[in-house]
Amino acid sequence: MKALLRPALSLFVLLSVVTGLVYPMLVTGVARIAFPDAAAGSLIMRDGKPIGSALIGQNFSDPKYFWGRPSATAPQPYNAAASAGSNQGPLNPALADAVKARVAALRAADPGNQRPVPIDLVTASASGLDPHISPAAADYQLERVARTRHLEVKAVRQLVAENTEGRDLGVFGEPRVHVLNLNLALDAHAR
């Protein structure tokens, strides 16, 4: 046992330094030079100030904005310092209640809209920070946003199209609309 102790200790210290300090520092160094924006969090700047990350969703509840996925982070939704899903099971009554309340809020903001509600717009995302909604969820909100902003539906539809991505390389993931970029474009359009 004693004969094993020295190799065990020295190998552990050596591998700790290599994989726990040298490796992450090296990756940080190269990433900072090669991909500075991405390594720092893909921040979006407006007037010289950071107003969000291109990868992290924000909470929207004003009818003039497109709303994102419901978020289960605490205490406030889209808390990017404490990511979390709801973890509600399919039979949990709290899930059905939450969906009902979200549907009611959507309908209250747009009483005339009789279309089926896209499910991603009323179910919480896994991270609580989902930056995207489905194209159907954007389409569902189009007329509300246009009406609130006194814009033509066509103009808003154009902005939605500009902020829609297809599947990665045509095969991976789902088509999606970037909510923060879309709302930024709407604000810029108004200026």
153-182: contacts with another protein (CB under 8 A):
167-169, 171-174, 176, 180
Q: How far apart are CA 39 and CA 37, in angstroms?
A: 6
Which positions from 75 through 94 interact with another protein, judged by CB under 8 A? 75-93
Angle at 56 between CA 51 and CA 62, to 5 degrees: 65
Determine if 21 is a binding residue for another protein (CB under 8 A). Answer: yes
Question: In this chain, which of 5, 111, 150, 191 binds another protein, going by CB under 8 A?
Answer: 5
Nearer Cβ to another protein (37/154): 37
Question: In this chain, which of 40, 153, 155, 188 binds another protein, going by CB under 8 A?
Answer: 40
Question: In this chain, which of 35, 155, 162, 188 binds another protein, going by CB under 8 A?
Answer: 35
Determine if 188 is a binding residue for another protein (CB under 8 A). Answer: no
User: Shortest distance, CB of residue 142 to another protein, whole angstroms?
Assistant: 16
Build a one-symbol-per-residue string for 101-140: x at contacts with another protein by CB under 8 A, - elsewhere. --x---x--------xxxxx-xxxxxxxxxxxxx-xx---
Q: How far apart are CA 105 and CA 122, in angstroms?
A: 10
How far is CA 167 from each of CA 9, 13, 67, 73, 134, rounded to the nearest angstrom? Answer: 49, 45, 22, 27, 12
User: Shortest distance, CB of residue 58 to another protein, whole angstroms?
Assistant: 5
Rg over alpha carbons for the chain, rounded to the nearest Å, is: 22
Quick check: 44 and 184 in contact, CB under 8 A? yes
Cα–Cα nearest to 61, from 151, 121, 125: 121
Cα–Cα nearest to 163, from 127, 134, 122: 134
Question: In this chain, which of 38, 155, 161, 188 binds another protein, going by CB under 8 A?
Answer: 38
Nearer Cβ to another protein (50/162): 50
Relative orientation angle of helices 179-190 and 153-162, to the nearest 10 degrees? 140
User: Shortest distance, CB of residue 18 to another protein, whole angstroms?
Assistant: 7
